[in-house]
């Protein structure tokens, strides 16, 4: 790959990354679209669309880079505090001691792995040639995200849902979707975490899949001249 091609792909990656961030800000500010789960997880994470496109269009390397930068953006947006303040905040939420290892696990399982998973769409370089392949790529990256987020719920956030449920039982708090799920699965932590994360990841994947199918022809028209190769069957 020539230096010119490398630079061109990096610039287009940055552009799509900027689109992802703008989409995230827009969705977060529009009532209805900004719906989320009680303890985090957006129902309509439309930023997934441009992030997946990075991998499909420019390859695995660029997809992973784009996902990693977006993960840093999300972490900074959620926890724009010094590390010690973050530790104190998390301990007040969960009632547990948060070591450096647990904070690192949070960064990896809640941010780096889930968002870099979108870059794995780069394994499906021909995904834009058919809706079936495009759907497969979206399901695959969402499955990786689900695994990481489920592990996070089990390893890091068990005490949070247990505390929230105890407050509901004491009548101190009103039940929410998370506590209802926890009660429904018989307080099984792994079933709760899987169910909780599946809900918003499923709605996001389905929404992005519909948008992808509706705009597939337009995407091909826009990006074929940029990458210099046909995206048609």
Spell out the domain ranges in the chain: 3-30+41-227
**Residue pLDDT tens, the chain, 233 long:** 566 778 888 999 999 999 999 999 999 999 988 999 998 899 999 999 999 999 999 999 999 999 999 999 998 877 765 566 667 766 776 677 778 788 889 999 999 999 999 999 999 988 888 899 999 999 999 999 999 999 999 998 888 898 889 989 989 889 999 999 999 999 999 999 999 999 999 999 999 999 999 999 888 888 776 665 555 44
Residues forming beta bridges with residue 36, ordered by sequence position = 42
CA distance 123 to 13: 16
The pTM assigned to this predicted structure is 0.90
Q: Tell how far CA 165 is from the center of its chain.
A: 26
Burial of 73 (0-12, 13-18, 19+ CB in 10 A): middle
Cα Rg of the chain (Å, integer): 19
Burial of 7 (0-12, 13-18, 19+ CB in 10 A): exposed
**What tokens appear for 48 in the block?**
């997934």
- The region, left, alpha or beta by phi > 0 then psi within -120 to 50, assigned to residue 216 is alpha
**What tokens appear for 117 in the block?**
């998973």
Residue 191 pLDDT: 97
Residue 76 pLDDT: 83
Residue 190 pLDDT: 96
Residue 229 pLDDT: 58
Residue 99 pLDDT: 80
| Helix spans in the chain (H) | 3-29, 48-58, 60-78, 83-94, 100-107, 113-119, 131-155, 158-169, 177-184, 189-227
3-30+41-227 has CATH 1.10.1760.20 classification: yes
């Amino acid at each position: 790959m020539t230096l010119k091609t490398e630079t061109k792909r990096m610039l287009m990656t940055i552009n799509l990354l900027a689109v992802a961030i703008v989409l995230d800000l827009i969705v977060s500010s529009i009532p209805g679209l900004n719906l989320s789960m009680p303890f985090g997880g957006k129902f309509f994470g439309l930023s997934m669309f441009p992030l997946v496109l990075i991998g499909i269009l420019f390859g695995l390397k660029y997809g992973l880079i784009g996902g990693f930068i977006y993960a840093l953006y999300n972490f900074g947006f959620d926890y724009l505090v010094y590390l010690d303040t973050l530790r104190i905040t998390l301990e007040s939420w969960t009632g547990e001691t948060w070591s450096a290892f647990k904070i690192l696990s949070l960064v990896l399982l809640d941010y780096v792995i889930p968002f870099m998973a979108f870059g794995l769409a780069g394994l499906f370089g021909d995904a834009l040639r058919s809706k079936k392949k495009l759907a497969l790529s979206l399901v695959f990256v969402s499955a990786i995200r689900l695994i990481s987020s489920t592990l996070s719920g089990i390893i890091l956030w068990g005490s949070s849902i247990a505390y929230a449920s105890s407050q509901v039982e004491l009548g101190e708090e009103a039940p929410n979707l998370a506590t209802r799920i926890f009660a429904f699965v018989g307080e099984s932590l792994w079933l709760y975490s899987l169910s909780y994360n599946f809900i918003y990841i499923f709605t996001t994947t389905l929404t992005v899949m519909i948008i992808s199918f509706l705009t597939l022809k337009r995407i091909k028209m826009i990006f074929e001249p940029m990458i210099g190769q046909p995206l048609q069957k």
